[in-house]
Amino acid sequence: MTGSPGSPGQVVPPGPGESREGESRPGGPPAAGEPRAAGEQRPSAADPVAGPDSRVRLVLWRHGQTEWNVQGRFQGQSDIPLDEVGVQQAQRAARLLAALRPDAIISSDLGRAMATAAPLARLTGLAVSADKDLRERHGGVWEGLTDVQIRTRYPEEYAQWRPPEGEATATVADRAGSAMERIADGLAPGSLAVVVSHGAAIRLGAARLLGMPEELWGVIGPLANCAWSVLARRNRRWRLIEHNAGTLPEPVLSDDR
């Protein structure tokens, strides 16, 4: 497995202080890339009303490409490493995400996620914290099978997208969503964390946080390899800011629906 669990490293103050709908507010935190005034302190996590920017933001970043992605095999929690393209994707995306000046990096403990997080950790100087609740959906007997094999051998389960001996859709949503909420609870107001996870875990966890009913979870499309979504929380309410960012439109190689 690439990378190792660790505690979050030094906090790097992020940018923008925004009012509702993104209008800048006088006296708010500086924009990304602008220095803070000497001695200026970030509001503490214990003081949720301190400062004009009470939001916390999560960049939900899917891992880079693997050989099983290319082959169309259901990966689930099988620990499949990044391929050469996936490593390059992670390096490119890390340069973009580093510009957001993240305060923390939290990753699924599976190797392909930790390897995706590694270039961003090197660029930012932050340690990567591992969280097993960010793992991909456990696919049971489907893991390692192609879509054609699953559809042929398990037609009824395929129609319901219910892997035998695997996790139920709602279970994945609860697990991943709870992990994301827990990460947000540990951030100071105005902070941004990069959360490195997997296609289904990100999509279902985000849908849970957004309060979407289960019959509408399919409205959120799957993520491409090394693409990300951004969620923001203010006053305990979540909002989808971006989805499938970081790439031009391209086919999604994923075992997520």
DSSP 230: E
Structure tokens at 183: 């990460």
Quote the pTM value.
Answer: 0.78
Going by CATH, does the domain composed of 52-245 fall within 3.40.50.150? no
Which of 18, 21, 40, 136 is the catalytic position?
136
Which of 18, 63, 143, 198 is the catalytic position?
63
pLDDT at 27: 35
| Count of H-run helices and E-run strands, the chain | 7, 6
Assess whether 63 carries a catalytic annotation: yes
Question: Of 185, 164, 161, which Cα lies nearest the Cα of 173?
Answer: 161
Residue 60: helix, strand or coil by DSSP? strand
Type of residue numbered 175: R
pLDDT beneath 70: ranges in the chain: 1-53, 247-251, 257
Any idea where the domains of the chain sit in the sequence? 52-245
Assess whether 198 carries a catalytic annotation: no
pLDDT at 54: 79
pLDDT at 256: 72
